[in-house]
Every structure is written in C-alpha cells, then in structure tokens.
C-alpha cells in the first residue's frame, strides 16, 4: 500500500483559508522555515515562553495514585520517547499504534512520536485481537506501544505475520528481561534517553494522525489527518469549549477514540490548560469526587455518561461543591434536551452540545458559551465553518431551505478536514459532491440558524409518508420518569412501509410490564402524535453500544430483521 496521501485538492495547491483560520494559525508558533508540528504547539512553545512549571497533567490512578506532570516534565518525556524511536531505527512517516490504558506513558508516547514526525494511531485498550490486527495491518504499523498483557493476548500470536512491525515497546516492566520476548521495556529505554530532541521539521500537510472508524459493513476506515489539524484543534477548543490558559479541564473520553485524542490531549495542551486524566472507568461516586476535589473548571463528557448519572438521580450529587465548574460540554451522540436541563439542576450549568466526526477532525457545530442554548439543538457552525442542509440526487446537490430535513454538509477547506480514507480513494471521493463534504447525518436548520440532529441517513424511518428521525422519538421517551435510555428503529409494515419500534431501559425502581408499555406509548403519542410515536416498545436490561458510548441502532435493526450485523469490532462487551 502506498504511503503517499493524495491531496484533497486537484493539483492547484491548497485553497486559501478563511480569515478565521489565518488568525488561528497566527496564534500558533510554527517551526522555522514555515513548518508545523502538533507536539511543538502542545508543549515546547509553552516551555519556551516560561510556563514549564505549570501542571500539564494530573494523573489519577485507578488504585488511588495521584501524580502531577508539568509542561516541562511532559516535554522532556516526549523528547526521551522521540529519542527511543530514533535509537531503534524509527523514522519520520513511520506509524505508531497505541494500545494501553490512560497512563502517563501514553501521553509522552503520543507527543514524542509526533515530535519525531511519526504518525500516531490510537487503539481502544479493550479491543480484542482481531480489531487490533485489522487496524494495524491497514495502517502498516511500524511501532506498537502496549502492555505485556495486551501484547501476549492480542498481538504475539500473529506478530510474525506482520513484517512492517519493527518495534514493540512495553509499558510497565523494569528491565528488558521482564518484557515479553522480542519486545523492549519502555521505562528503562526512556530513562537512558536524552531529554532533548530537535523537533522534526514536519510540514502542515504531513500525515500526523490515523483514526479508525467502523462502517456498517467491511473493514474499518482509516481516517487520515495532518499536522495542520492542530490549527483547528487549538481554535475550536478555545471557541467551543471555552478553554483558557491555566484552566483545570477534564475530558472523559479515552484517547483510543478521536475525542480523547483531539480534545483529551492536543487541543487542551495547545491552549495551555491542565488535564485531569482518570485511569479508572466510569464510577458515579468517583466522578463526582474528581469534579469536586480537583476543582474542575471545564468538563467535556458524553451523553451516555450524563444519562448514567441521571439514572442515579439528583440526590446522588447532594452536598457536593461544584462551584469551580464554569463550562460543561458533551459530544459523541446527540444530547437530549433532558440532559441539558439536568445539568442546570445538578451543577447549576447547562450542558453545551456540539457536533463533529472523525472525518472532520474537530468540532464543527456547537453551542458556545456566548450563545443562548436551545435544549436539544446541536448549535451553530463555528467561525470558519460553512454548513448547509442539502438534498443529493445523483451528482446534483441542492441546498434546502430552513425547516426542511436533509443531509448535513460542510464546505471543504477547514484545517482538520480528513485528507483521505487510507488506501480507499474511491470511498473518499464519494463523500465530496458539488463542492460539499457529505456527512451522512440528517439534520434540520431552524430560522435562527441552529442545527438539529435527526439521525444517520440510514437510520431514517419512512412511515406512511412521514420521515421520522429516531432521535426525536428517543428524546420524547427519555422525558418519561421511568426511562433511562431509548433506541428507536423502523421495522417493515405492509400498510405504512415502516413503523417505529422502540427499545428502552428503565431507571431504578421501575419494573417492565404491559401497563408501563401502554403508559409509555400514550406518553409518546401525546408528545409526538400517533404517526410518529412507536407502535411497539420493548424493555431491555441494556442497549448495544460502542465502547465510546454510541447506541448501535443498526445492530438492533440487523438483529430484528435478520440482516448482516457488519463490523462489530467497537461493540461494548466484546471479548478481549
């Protein structure tokens, strides 16, 4: 597979950036000679400006440890890691994969690799052997950073079949003798390395990040991002998340996902904030304690986590001091209006929804701190982003007026726009038509310019001439006091074409039964009308979701209708 990544644009050079992106680029340092490197913007420029003593990372271990790493300390560790790579023959353009939990070594490895001009591809630590192998083969991995346990179970059985994999670095062991055969203990290697490294003079269009996103069928897609993405990472963190130098900031997303990389590492460090990193998984009491004890000011989390907190009731937060909180934001899937209002009730602040994709590389549409929130709305496009609602017929793309449902589309050209689906140029070309990037999401823009999520294009339900977005129905069901979560699909019907079927989980203290099912259907009919309300409601203990928290409606539909289930590598609960 060729390493070269074709330009998004056809031989005429990069298009001129909008004024907002020119101003955003001017706020970064850049490298001598006009280069650009993410690690330099995230670490080195702050140290050079005299901020090396500021905490960059507050690490909270699952067993009670609390370590603080300064900007100078993290910069030195990143340099050591870059020197380790060079000592083992790893060069600019090689690809490094990360397969470990939220430990300090992951952050040093990410930034050290970028500093050395090495491409970083994060993997979720709970992936099983097949998802790991598929992604590493597609990405032609040169380096893997992982633990002995992950290596032995997920990589060792097939390592000999992957000739591109030159180096495996193991987090944890104190000597090479303690590491698995053929691997290098990362800690001792970094201790022996120099703490300075001249940043590789990467260019803005050099490949920097490779994120994988699952499709409904086939192998995962490798989404390519370049060093220029840092312009959008830095600016959107400032605009959409209200990040300010010195803030205490907690992004709960794992770095194995695009949110945890873009807004869990790169954007906050570029804005010189202090990251809170929790190694442990979700625990209600622990999360409330972290928000209170660490005096978190900006908190970025997922709707699934918010709904899990709602499930425990507002009483669980009573007596807590959340007075340090200034801004709450959410991403990963649509944010129901009830979640927005619950934030106001419990924290004294609403949750601000925003929208983006792995392909966009950064936040595109948001409810910013300066805006009035319409609960349930995605928000408005950020400065420098042009968004529209379009209808696609063949090669023709028509922009729809306000109030109509269509496909959400963006004008190409923002700095963090993906540059390719790795090795799949035809698939990449299909998402650009008529001067727009087609997101595959259905939405509506209202007369005030707010965008409202309707659903994925393949989730839309067509019933008796009505187009029904599952999110609207799910939000109505969640308003009922008994419902914790809901997922809605369309099932075939001889008369209507499709009818709505809902799957719900219940809050503690509520039991499934015919009476409750009738009550929920009545509630939905009252809120939505009989044409949109679900005809059938099924109670479930859990709903299938990805490990990043998104409910997998397509899997519900596939299992309901006996269809192929597609790529399940990101499904929560798979064997690891």
Q: Which domain CATH number covers 464?
A: 3.30.300.30
Confidence of residue 358 (pLDDT cuts 50, 70, 90): very high
- 132 within domain boundaries: yes
Contact 81, 104 (CB under 8 A): no
- 305 within domain boundaries: no
Please tell me the distance from the alpha carbon of residue 193 to that of residue 106, in angstroms, as a whole number: 17
CATH code, domain with 122: 3.40.50.12780
Output DSSP code: residue 551: B
Please tell me the distance from the alpha carbon of residue 171 to that of residue 98, in angstroms, as a whole number: 11
Please give the C-alpha separations between residue 402 and each of 376, 449, 544, in angstroms, as whole numbers.
Answer: 17, 8, 34
Classified as helix, coil or strand, 136 is: helix
Tokens of 496: 């209507």
Contact 331, 356 (CB under 8 A): yes
pLDDT for 286 beyond 90: yes
Classified as helix, coil or strand, 89 is: coil
pLDDT for 216 beyond 70: no
- 235 within domain boundaries: no
Number of domains in the chain: 2
Of 184, 206, 227, the last residue of a domain is: 227
pLDDT for 111 beyond 50: yes
Of 201, 227, 253, the last residue of a domain is: 227
Q: What is the mean pLDDT of residues 445-451?
A: 97
> Which residue range(s) make up the domain with 520?
460-561
- 192 within domain boundaries: yes
Choice between 93 and 462, residue whose per-residue pLDDT is larger = 93
Q: Which residue bears the tokens 């906050």?
A: 268
pLDDT for 8 beyond 60: no
Q: What is the mean pLDDT of residues 521-545?
A: 85
Choice between 296 and 526, residue whose per-residue pLDDT is larger = 296
Please tell me the distance from the alpha carbon of residue 568 to that of residue 408, in angstroms, as a whole number: 26
Confidence of residue 84 (pLDDT cuts 50, 70, 90): very high
State residue 261's pLDDT score. 97
- 241 within domain boundaries: no
State residue 346's pLDDT score. 94
Please tell me the distance from the alpha carbon of residue 345 to that of residue 234, in angstroms, as a whole number: 31
Contact 322, 344 (CB under 8 A): no
Contact 405, 453 (CB under 8 A): no
Of 188, 205, 227, the last residue of a domain is: 227
Confidence of residue 472 (pLDDT cuts 50, 70, 90): confident
- 184 within domain boundaries: yes
Sign of the torsion formed by the C-alpha atoms of 370, 246, 64 and 263? positive
Please tell me the distance from the alpha carbon of residue 190 to that of residue 174, in angstroms, as a whole number: 11
- 540 within domain boundaries: yes
The whole-model pTM stands at 0.82
- 331 within domain boundaries: no
State residue 554's pLDDT score. 73
């Amino acid at each position: 597979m060729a390493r070269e990544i074709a330009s998004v644009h056809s031989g005429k050079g990069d298009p001129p950036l909008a004024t907002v992106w020119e101003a955003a680029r001017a706020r970064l340092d850049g490298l001598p000679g006009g280069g650009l490197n993410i690690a330099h913007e995230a670490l080195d420029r702050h140290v050079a400006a005299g901020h090396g003593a500021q905490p960059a990372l507050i690490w909270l271990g699952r067993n009670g440890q609390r370590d603080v790493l300064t900007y100078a300390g993290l910069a030195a560790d990143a340099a050591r890691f870059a020197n380790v790579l060079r000592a083992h023959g790893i060069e600019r353009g090689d690809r490094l994969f990360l397969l470990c939990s939220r430990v300090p070594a992951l952050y040093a490895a990410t930034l050290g690799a970028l500093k050395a001009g090495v491409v970083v591809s994060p993997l979720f630590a709970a992936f099983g052997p097949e998802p790991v192998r598929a992604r590493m083969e597609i990405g032609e991995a040169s380096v893997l950073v992982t633990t002995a346990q992950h290596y032995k179970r997920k990589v060792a059985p097939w390592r000999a079949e992957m000739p591109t994999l030159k180096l495996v670095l193991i987090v944890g062991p104190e000597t090479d003798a303690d590491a698995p055969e053929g691997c290098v203990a990362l800690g001792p290697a970094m201790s022996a390395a120099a703490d300075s490294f001249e940043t590789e003079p990467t260019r803005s269009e050099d490949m920097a990040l490779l994120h994988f996103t699952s499709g409904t069928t086939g192998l995962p897609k490798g989404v390519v991002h370049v060093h220029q993405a840092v312009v959008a990472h830095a600016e959107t963190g400032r605009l959409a998340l209200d990040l300010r130098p010195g803030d205490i900031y907690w992004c709960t997303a794992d770095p194995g996902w695009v949110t945890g990389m873009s807004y869990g590492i790169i954007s906050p460090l570029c804005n010189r904030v202090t990251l809170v990193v929790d190694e442990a998984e979700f625990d209600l009491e622990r999360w409330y304690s972290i928000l209170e004890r660490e005096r978190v000011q900006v908190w970025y989390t997922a709707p699934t986590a918010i709904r899990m907190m709602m499930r425990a009731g507002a009483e669980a937060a009573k007596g807590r001091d959340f007075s340090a909180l200034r801004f709450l934001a959410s991403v990963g899937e649509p944010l129901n209006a009830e979640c927005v209002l619950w934030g106001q009730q419990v924290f004294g602040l609403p949750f601000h929804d925003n929208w983006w994709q792995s392909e966009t590389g950064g936040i595109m549409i948001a409810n910013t701190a300066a805006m009035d929130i319409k609960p349930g709305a995605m928000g408005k496009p950020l400065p420098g982003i042009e968004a529209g609602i379009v209808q696609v017929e063949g090669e023709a793309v028509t922009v729809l007026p306000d109030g109509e449902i269509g496909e959400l589309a963006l004008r190409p050209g923002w700095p963090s726009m993906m540059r390719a689906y790795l090795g799949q140029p035809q698939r990449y070309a299909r998402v650009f038509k008529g001067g727009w990037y087609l997101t595959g999401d259905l939405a509506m823009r209202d007369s005030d310019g707010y965008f409202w999520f309707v659903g994925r294009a393949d989730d839309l339900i067509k019933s008796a001439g009505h187009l029904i977005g599952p999110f609207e129905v799910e939000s109505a069901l969640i308003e009922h006091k008994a419902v914790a979560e809901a997922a809605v699909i369309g099932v075939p019907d001889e008369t209507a074409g499709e009818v709505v079927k809902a799957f719900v989980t219940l809050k503690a203290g509520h039991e499934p039964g015919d009476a409750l099912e009738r009550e929920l259907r009545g509630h939905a009919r009252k809120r939505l009308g009989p044409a949109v309300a679900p005809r059938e409601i099924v109670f479930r203990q859990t709903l299938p979701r990805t490990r990043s928290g998104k409910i997998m409606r397509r899997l519900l539909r596939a299992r309901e209708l006996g269809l192929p289930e597609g790529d399940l590598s990101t499904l929560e609960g798979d064997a690891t």
